[in-house]
Every structure is written in structure tokens, then in C-alpha cells.
Amino acid sequence: MPVNLSAPQAHTLLPVKGVELGFAEANIRKPNRKDVLVIKLSEGTRVAGVFTKNQFCAAPVTLCKKHLAAGAEIRALVVNTGNANAGTGEQGMLDAEKTCQALAQLLSQGVEVKANQILPFSTGVILEPLPVDRVVAGLPDCLSNLKSDNWLNAAEAIMTTDIVSKGYSKQIVIDGKTVTITGISKGSGMIHPNMATMLGYVATDAAISQAALEKLIDYAVNRSFNCITVDGDTSTNDSLILMATGQSGISEIQADTAAYESLRDAMTEVATLLAQAIVRDGEGATKFMTIKVEAGRDVEECRQVAYAIAHSPLIKTAFFASDPNLGRILAAIGYAGLDRLDVNNMQLYLGDVLVAEHGGRAQAYEEAQGAAVMAEPEILVRVVLNRGLANAMVWTCDFSYDYVKINADYRS
């Protein structure tokens, strides 16, 4: 079961002015489940996105990047689950384009919407042809139930191996007016960031310049989705989209202003909760682990150490078993690739317990202390390098028997 995580309640996911969401059951992979989502945006909405750096990226990722680069005003997003449309060659691109064309045509009621004003997304099994006719056939149902308060249904419509849906809202006051932020994400396995890692959609009714929105998404992703890992596999389909409709009534926010910082911090908070929810719902997870590396020369080397720990199957299985075999953590620190690391000058803590210092086991450490910390569902691993002022934090989970079962049976 997910670690200290439950699905959101519909009333806790607040409507965002200028955003409507609709879903369909299109039988893309499994019957009787929501598997197509349309997010319709009001005119004037600003959109920014970041995507996987996996070079075998999915056709919809390539097409999304193309449509955003063209500079056309984005009017809708379309998401399907059950099939990644990755590793599908030229036909996959044609299918992604067909989906955009079909939705654009359906939305062209009074005001023309073009295919390059649609952003497509897919998630699911790789190397299988997209059943594009089923996706297209589900679009009218999506449009027929478009609602501003459909965020929970939307979160459910993008799930794959997720056990629970993921969504959060937050409101702040800027210039005396209430600004709403609501986001959803999906992800459970094949989780390792090379930007974000999963599908994530965060909307606000704030007005913000395109330049400021681009700066904001870079800030937020590097403090949230770029700090999580479940299994070290960077997906072919990872995408995070920020949408700002400008419907709140505030003046347009520019970068590096007090209003920008307020919005940036609030959206980063929502993004962080969504990112952590993915780890808490990691496939087969029973433990949620925070890896904090302190006093490094720079953030990059702190992350190197954190990810070496977070990716180690030996460490992750030990945490599942609550086995304080903590020499595995020292080994991971040692092979992380840091230049001239002085192992005699660093410390390792498990929770508040000092485990290692001066190149070996801390004199006061007893294994019962480590076992007690590891028995908890949420665990802090803290490494103090003592070679600089930089810090970094990564969130991960353990590896249980169920991780193997879920991935062994993924296509069945």
C-alpha cells in the first residue's frame, strides 16, 4: 500500500478559472476504466513544459515539444493511458498527429482551433501500436462532460500502475486577490528524473508572462520532480506542464518580483507534494526515504551521492527488510564518483542516529538503534560530506517483493 498517502477527495481539488476537464472510458487497454482525458484551456492561457531526456522519447513528447516551439496558443491537452505510443516509429507520430487533429476539429465550434494548439500525451506500455481509433472515439465523451471541478476524475484517468490518484490544491493571495493552484500527477514505476519523471499537470488562474512562467517551471521542477526516484529508469514519456489562465484578475506577473516569488513558491510546494506522492505510491513501496546530503562542494555532487544511495537495490531491499546493513550505504557513497572524497571526514546518520564517522562505525552506534529507525514507514538518511556548503535532497522508496510481481505481470 502507498506510504502515508491516500487519494484526494474531490472537494479538496479546487477548480481553476479557465480550465475544464473531461474524461472517457475508451477501452484502450482495459475495459471499464477512465483512460482518456481532455484538459480544455481558455483563450490567453500561457503554457510551459519540460520533458524526458530519454533519447527514445515517445511520439507525443516529440509532438508536444514541436507545438510549444511553434508558439501557437495552446487550447487543450489530451492524455491517454494504457499505451505509451513510444517505440512506435513513424506510425506513432502519425497517430499522435491524428489525435490532435481530431480534438482540434471537435473544439472548433465558433472559434477555429488548429492541431498545433493541442498537446498530446500518452502513458502505458512501450513498443505497442497506439489504438488511435479508440482514443479518437473517446474524445466526444471527454468533451460532453467537461467541468471545472473534474480534477479528481482527471487524476484517475491518467493512472497506470498507480494504486491511488494524486492531486493537490493551494490558494494564495496576491495583490488582494485569491489565486488558485491545482495539480495532478501519475507515476509509480519507471521513475527516475532527467527533468520530471511521470505525467504532471499544474494549473493556476494567475496571470504571468511567458518568460516568468518558463523560469518558474525550471525552478519548481529542479526542487520537486528532479528529486525523486523509484527504480532508476527514466521513462520515454515524462512530461510536466504548467498552465496559467490569467483569470484571477491580478496584473500580469513578471519574473523576479515579490508576486513572482509568492507564486513560484506556492507552485513549487504543489509540485513537491505531487512528486513525493509518486514515490509514496512507488510500485510495491512500504517505506518512504529521504536522502539528504549536506556540506558538498556543489549541488551536483550532493545529488550524485544521494542518487547512488537511492538507486542501490541492495540498500532498497535492506530498508524493506528493516535490516540495518548500513555498510551498503557507505559503499554507495564510495562509488558515487566524487573526486578525492575524504571518507575519514564525513558522517552518516540514520534519522538522528550517528552511524559512521572517522571512516568507520561510530563508537556509540548500536545495531538496535538502526533497526528501530528502519522499522518506521518514513526514514531519513543523512550524509554530511564536510567539503563545502552545498546541500541536496532526494526522495525514494524501498524495493519489496511486490515490485518484482508488479513489473513481472505488467502486461498481463
In angstroms, the CA 240 to CA 161 distance is 19
Q: Which of 197, 229, 286, 396 is catalytic?
A: 197
Using the predicted structure, report yes or no on whether residue 401 has a pLDDT greater than 70.
yes
Does residue 91 fall inside a structural domain? yes
- Point out the least confidently predicted range of 59-73, 343-357, 375-389, 396-410: 396-410
Using the predicted structure, report yes or no on whether residue 195 has a pLDDT greater than 50.
no
The closest alpha carbon to 60, from 237, 234, 286, 305, belongs to 237
Residue-level pLDDT at 188: 64
Looking at the fold, whether 214 and 325 belong to one and the same domain comes out as no
Residue that wins the pLDDT comparison between 325 and 56: 325
Using the predicted structure, report yes or no on whether residue 191 has a pLDDT greater than 70.
no
Domain count of the chain?
2
Looking at the fold, whether 110 and 220 belong to one and the same domain comes out as yes
Using the predicted structure, report yes or no on whether residue 194 has a pLDDT greater than 50.
no
Residue-level pLDDT at 172: 98
Looking at the fold, whether 245 and 327 belong to one and the same domain comes out as no
Using the predicted structure, report yes or no on whether residue 60 has a pLDDT greater than 50.
yes
Looking at the fold, whether 122 and 259 belong to one and the same domain comes out as yes
One-letter amino acid identity for 244? A
Residue-level pLDDT at 412: 52
Burial of 114 (0-12, 13-18, 19+ CB in 10 A): middle
- The helix (H) or strand (E) run that includes residue 393 is strand 390-397
Using the predicted structure, report yes or no on whether residue 405 has a pLDDT greater than 80.
no
Does residue 120 fall inside a structural domain? yes
Q: In this predicted model, what pLDDT tens digit does every residue of 163-176 receive, in sequence order?
A: 899 999 999 999 99
In angstroms, the CA 120 to CA 162 distance is 21
Does residue 47 fall inside a structural domain? yes
In angstroms, the CA 285 to CA 288 distance is 8
Q: In this predicted model, what pLDDT tens digit does every residue of 109-165 receive, in sequence order?
A: 888 999 999 999 999 888 999 999 999 999 999 999 999 999 999 999 999 888 899
Full domain range(s) for residue 101: 10-280
Determine the average pLDDT of the residues in 10-29: 97
Looking at the fold, whether 116 and 198 belong to one and the same domain comes out as yes
Q: In this predicted model, what pLDDT tens digit does every residue of 325-338 receive, in sequence order?
A: 999 999 999 999 99
Q: Which phi and psi angles does 23 have, rounded to 5°? A: -130, 165
Looking at the fold, whether 90 and 229 belong to one and the same domain comes out as yes
| CATH code at position 223 | 3.60.70.12
Q: Which residues contact 126 (CB under 8 A, 6 or more apart)?
A: 58, 84, 86, 87, 236
- Point out the least confidently predicted range of 121-130, 192-201, 235-244, 335-344: 192-201
Last residue of a domain, one of 280, 303, 327: 280
Last residue of a domain, one of 247, 280, 313: 280
Return the half-sphere exposure (C-beta side, CA atoms, 13 A cut-off) of residue 257: 15
Q: In this predicted model, what pLDDT tens digit does every residue of 41-52 receive, in sequence order?
A: 999 999 999 988
Looking at the fold, whether 206 and 135 belong to one and the same domain comes out as yes
Q: Are strands 46-51 and 239-244 parallel, antiparallel or unpaired?
A: antiparallel
Q: In this predicted model, what pLDDT tens digit does every residue of 73-117 receive, in sequence order?
A: 999 999 999 999 999 999 999 999 999 999 999 999 888 999 999
Question: Is 99 an active-site residue?
Answer: no
One-letter amino acid identity for 159? M
Assign 393 a pLDDT band (cuts: 50, 70, 90).
very high
Does residue 3 fall inside a structural domain? no
Looking at the fold, whether 77 and 59 belong to one and the same domain comes out as yes
| CATH code at position 363 | 3.10.20.340
Looking at the fold, whether 207 and 305 belong to one and the same domain comes out as no
pTM here is 0.93
Q: What is the mean pLDDT of the chain?
A: 92
Residue-level pLDDT at 121: 96
- Point out the least confidently predicted range of 223-232, 255-264, 285-294: 223-232
Residue-level pLDDT at 237: 75
Determine the average pLDDT of the residues in 232-255: 88
State percent of the chain over pLDDT 90.
83
Neighbour tally for 386: CB within 10 Å: 13
Residue-level pLDDT at 410: 57
Last residue of a domain, one of 280, 309, 335: 280
Using the predicted structure, report yes or no on whether residue 411 has a pLDDT greater than 80.
no
In angstroms, the CA 358 to CA 305 distance is 18
Using the predicted structure, report yes or no on whether residue 358 has a pLDDT greater than 90.
yes
Long-range own/partner contacts, residues 51-54 (CB < 8 A, 24 or more apart): 51/195, 51/196, 51/238, 51/239, 51/240, 52/194, 52/195, 52/196, 52/197, 52/234, 52/235, 52/236, 52/237, 52/238, 52/239, 53/194, 53/195, 53/234, 54/194, 54/234, 54/235, 54/236, 54/238
